[in-house]
A and B are shown apart, each in its own frame.
Chain A
Amino acid sequence: MRSVAVVGTGQTKHARRRDDVSQAELVREAADAALADADMCAEDIEAVLIGNMELFEGRGLPELWVGGGAYGTGKPVMKVATGGTSGTSTAIAAFHQVGSGLFDRVLAVGFEKHSEGHTQTGMALTDPFWDRAVASGALGNFALSVSQYVAAGHATEDQAALVAVKARRNAARNPHAHLQMPDLTVDEVLASKMLAHPLRMLDMCPQSDGAAAIIVASDAVAREHNPRPAWVKATATRHDQCYIGDLDRRLLSMRTLRDASAHAYTQAGITDPVRDLDVAEIYEPCTYAELAWYEALGFCEAGEAGRLVEKGVTSMTGALPVNPSGGVLSTNPVGASGVIRVAEAACQIHGRAGQRQVERADLALATGYGVYAWADVVVLGSEP
C-alpha cells in the first residue's frame, strides 16, 4: 500500500443537545472544519465515508439523509457500520481507499445525535431469542464483565474513579468536549449514583450530539496540504463472537483489542508501547474499561492497570498520556467517537491540539471499541 496520511481534522462542539442544527448541518460543521484544517475545498474531495449508529436516531439510512451535508453529492458515498467501532472503521476504510490508489482525497465523517433518538431502545435491539428477553442493553452487559474484572482483583473502585477524574479534567482543556469538569474529585465520583453494580454514573460515558471528520490524502497531496501530516503506520480490526455467554471472561481477556494491537504494533515496529508511543486516544466506554484496555494494549501486566493510573503514567504529564481530549468518558456521539479518537491522535501529530497538546507527539495510538464484538487499532506517526 502507498503512504497515506490524515491531513485535516474537524470537530463540532459536542453537547447533550445540538437543537441548533439538523443532522446534515451537524455533519457539515465537522466537514467544513476538517476541510479548512487541510486547506482544501469541498470540490477537492473525491469520495465520502460516513459512520453512524443506525437506530440511535429515529430514522434509517443515515448515509442518505446526511450524504449531501458531507459534500457527497456526485461522489462515491457509503456508510461503514461495525457497532461502536464504526468511527474507527470508517477512518480505516478511508485509509484503504487512498492506500489502494482508488482516490487521493477522502473525507471520513462520523456523527450521532443521541438527543434525537432513544439510545436505550437502540441498544436493546439485540437478538430477540437470547439477549433481548433477559438482558437490558449495554449497561448490564458492561456491568457483568466489570464485576468479573473487579472480582478477579484487577481494579478497585478508587482506581476506576481516578480514571473518571483524569478524563473530565483533561476534557476541561478541550474546547470540543461535552463534559468538562476541571474540579472533579474521586469522592464525587464515588458518591455518584449506582447504575448497575459496580458501575456508577460518573464511571460511564455520556450520550452526546456531535460529529467529527478527517481528511485522508495520498503521499504527495498530504505533503502539499499539511506541514506535518499524520502518517498511517498501522491499522488492525478484529471481530468476535456476539453472545456474551460464549466468551464469559471478556473484559479480562479482551482478545479483540489484544490481537488487534499486537498486529498493529508489529506493523509499526512498536515493542514497548509505553516507551514507544507518545500519546494514546483510546475508546473507553467506562472507567474500568480504560483500565482493562491498558492490559490488553500491553501498557502493563495483567492486574497492574490500577497502579498505572495511580502513578500518573497515563496523565498529561506521565510517560504515556492517555486521552488528552477527555476521551469517550467526556464526549460520546457514538458514530463519531471512533473518528474523534483518530482525529485527536492526528491532531497531536499535527501539533494543533492547543491546550491539550502533548510534548513531542511523533507516534500516536487510536483505538475503537464495539461492545466486545469489535476492536480497531490505528497507529499514526510523524514519518511515513
Chain B
Amino acid sequence: MIRTESIHIPFTYAAGGTSSIFLAALRDEARILATPCPACDTVICPARSSCPACGGPTATPVDVGPAGTLVSWTELADGTTLALVRLDGADTSLVHRLAGGDGTWVAGQRLRARFGESRTGAITDIVGFESENGAGR
C-alpha cells in the first residue's frame, strides 16, 4: 500500500538585528549595506551581526554597490539565472539573478543593481543585476 499526500507548513523566520537594518535600507532607501569586520579587515555583504569568517562582531554598516563585478553565473533549464556579484566596496559576493540582456554574460563584466518599484524588505527588492551600460550586454 502506498499513501500520497502533501503538507503545507506555515512558518516565520527572523532576520535578526543587523540584517533587518540591511533589509529596511533596501526597502526604504534602495541602499545596499555591508558590515566591516575589524578583525579580518573585510567588508561583508549582506550586512550581518557577526563575521562569517572569524565569528567576531562586525562594525557599523557601510554602503556598497550598487555597481559591481560578475564573479560567476549559471543558467538553469527553466531560463532563470543565478549569479555571484561582488559589489564595489564589498569583499564577499551577493547571490542573485541577472536581469535583461540577451543571455550572454561573462565573468568579470561590470553590473549594476536594478531596484524594484515597490519594495518589501527582501533581497528580491533588487530585481536583478544588469549590465552597467544598460540592460544585458
Contacts and interface: CB of A to CB of B under 8 A. Distances in A.
B75 A135 contact: no
Interface string A257-271: 000000000000000
Nearest to A194: B77
A245 B107 CA distance: 15
Contacts of B44: 246
Contacts of B123: 129-130, 133-134
B113 interface: no
A195 B84 contact: no
Given A244-B95, A248-B92, A248-B93, A147 B13 contact: no
A140 B84 CA distance: 11
Interface string A201-215: 000000000000000
Contact of A151 (B2, B86, B107): B107
A248 B52 CA distance: 13
Interface in B50-66: 52-53
Nearest to B124: A133
Bin the interface of chain B by size: 35 or more
A129 B96 contact: no
Contacts of B71: 148, 248
A245 B95 contact: yes
B92 A245 contact: yes
A145 B6 CA distance: 33
A19 to B, nearest CB: 6
Bin the interface of chain A by size: 20 to 34
Task: Identify which of B19, B75, B82, B83 gathers the most chain A CB atoms within 10 Å of its CB.
Answer: B82
B92 A58 contact: no
B73 interface: yes
A143 B74 contact: yes
B82 A143 contact: yes
Task: Identify which of B7, B71, B93 gathers the most chain A CB atoms within 10 Å of its CB.
Answer: B93
A93 interface: no
Contact of B75 (A58, A196, A244): A196
Nearest to B90: A245
A197 B104 CA distance: 12
Interface in B23-68: 23, 44-46, 52-53
Interface string B87-106: 00000111111000000000
Contact of B80 (A136, A194, A245): A136
B86 A248 contact: yes
B79 to A, nearest CB: 11
Given A241-B53, A248-B84, A195 B76 contact: yes
A195 B94 CA distance: 23
Given A129-B122, A134-B97, A196 B84 contact: no
Contacts of A134: 82, 95-97, 123-124
A130 B44 CA distance: 13
Contacts of B73: 144, 147
A139 interface: yes
B7 A58 contact: yes
B117 interface: no
B93 A196 contact: no
Contacts of A65: none
Given A134-B95, A140-B82, A196 B74 contact: yes
Contacts of B107: 147-148, 151
Contact of B76 (A131, A143, A193): A143
24 contacts: A58-B7, A128-B13, A129-B19, A129-B123, A134-B124, A135-B95, A140-B74, A143-B82, A144-B72, A144-B83, A147-B72, A147-B107, A148-B72, A151-B107, A193-B77, A196-B75, A196-B76, A197-B74, A245-B84, A245-B93, A246-B44, A246-B53, A248-B72, A248-B92
